[in-house]
Amino acid sequence: MNKSRVLRPAPDLPAEEAQAARFEKARLAQSTAVLEDYAELISDLIASEGEARPTDIARRLGVSHATAIKSIARLKREGLATSKLYRGVFLTPNGETLARRVRTRHRLVVDLLLAVGVPQGAAEADAEGIEHHVSDETLRAFAEFLDRK
Amino acid sequence: MNKSRVLRPAPDLPAEEAQAARFEKARLAQSTAVLEDYAELISDLIASEGEARPTDIARRLGVSHATAIKSIARLKREGLATSKLYRGVFLTPNGETLARRVRTRHRLVVDLLLAVGVPQGAAEADAEGIEHHVSDETLRAFAEFLDRK
DNA sequence: TTCTAAATGTAGCCTAGGCTACATTTGTTC
DNA sequence: GAACAAATGTAGCCTAGGCTACATTTAGAA
């Protein structure tokens, strides 16, 4: 039945697996993207406003407060944040570490986009989605490229 | 109650909205990422194997065939693909157009990563997630940067 | 101190995209 | 042409992350 399968030479198989692995990595990155965004935002809000409240988080992310509260619950489940009823949200040490890493990465991505000639607005907008898929290896390359400039 | 709200100066508000808009754009890009991946893959399979079958699509993406079939159903709902029971999958003209656009964008992203010094493996892996968040404006900047090199 | 608006939290719904388990169809092989 | 293995499709479950509607708590104002 499967004629094409039989005809396909063996060398294709490793390539197929590599492709599948790339997609899987992208899916994984996506599943942590929300956590990363929240961690960074909570950290920013605490730094600039003194506290991170669900309503402010929701407004900044452009989602309803109910959605924000649900995601905050996930952050808590994953050990990245803490909060008490009707009180603001705080990051655990793990959450702080994540926020720092995300902030650094975000800046590097924006800077790289600017360095290759992407206009400011587009750089900031696109970085918001791109950053979650930039591996440490790629990040290192970005840093070196910016150093050379 | 909301002291920080009152204290926050007006100039913050446009910035908040801009930030929310960036996140919303990223969410939107994410929701079309799967469609884009399938369209490109189906197009590739038809070109290289003569047909695109759910099992092959599933194996290449690293998901179960049931998942692939569900996503193919969404492609059909969105007018990007067609298929008959127990037959392969085909792209509509809209699907073809999307696939072409995605393929071009994918190549450009990989090329740009390579050009700034990202190692081949990381470039190919990261591009899989990054590409979906690269706007036309950014893509143009990438192309110009590569031309200059 | 009480009232009330805003913030916070809860419930329940939806879609997308994963999965496994099972049913059906196809096409090759004997 | 019958049997069987592989491909395809279906059903049902799960989680994440959207939403609206409603309930509860808080804290500032009167």
On the 0-12 / 13-18 / 19+ scale of CB atoms within 10 A, B3 is exposed
Residue nearest to nucleotide D16 (CA to C1'): A31
CA distance B129 to B134: 10
What does the pLDDT average to over B101-125? 98
Whole-number distance in Å between A44 CA and C3 C1': 35
Chain B neighbors of A130, CB-CB under 8 A:
130, 133-134
Chain A neighbors of B112, CB-CB under 8 A:
116
Q: Which residues contact B141 (CB under 8 A, 6 or more apart)?
A: A113, A116, A117, A118, A119, A122
Nearest-10 crossing angle of helices B54-61, B12-49: 130
Domains of chain A: 13-148 (1.10.10.10)
Q: What is the per-residue pLDDT for A12?
A: 61
Output the six-digit token pair for B74. 């969404």
Residue type, B146: L
Write down the residue that tokens 């994953």 correspond to: A78
Q: State whether A20 and B60 contact (CB < 8 Å).
A: yes
Residue A96: closest CA among A28, A149, A38, A16: A38
Residues B37-80 have pLDDT tens digits of 999 999 999 999 999 999 999 999 999 999 999 999 999 999 99
CA distance B146 to B149: 5
Chain A neighbors of B25, CB-CB under 8 A:
125, 128-129
Q: What is the per-residue pLDDT for B72?
A: 98
Positions in chain A whose pLDDT score sits under 70: 1-13
Give percent of chain B with pLDDT exceeding 90.
88
Choose the closest CB to B29 out of A116, A129, A145: A129
Residue B9: which pLDDT band, with cuts at 50, 70 and 90? Answer: very low
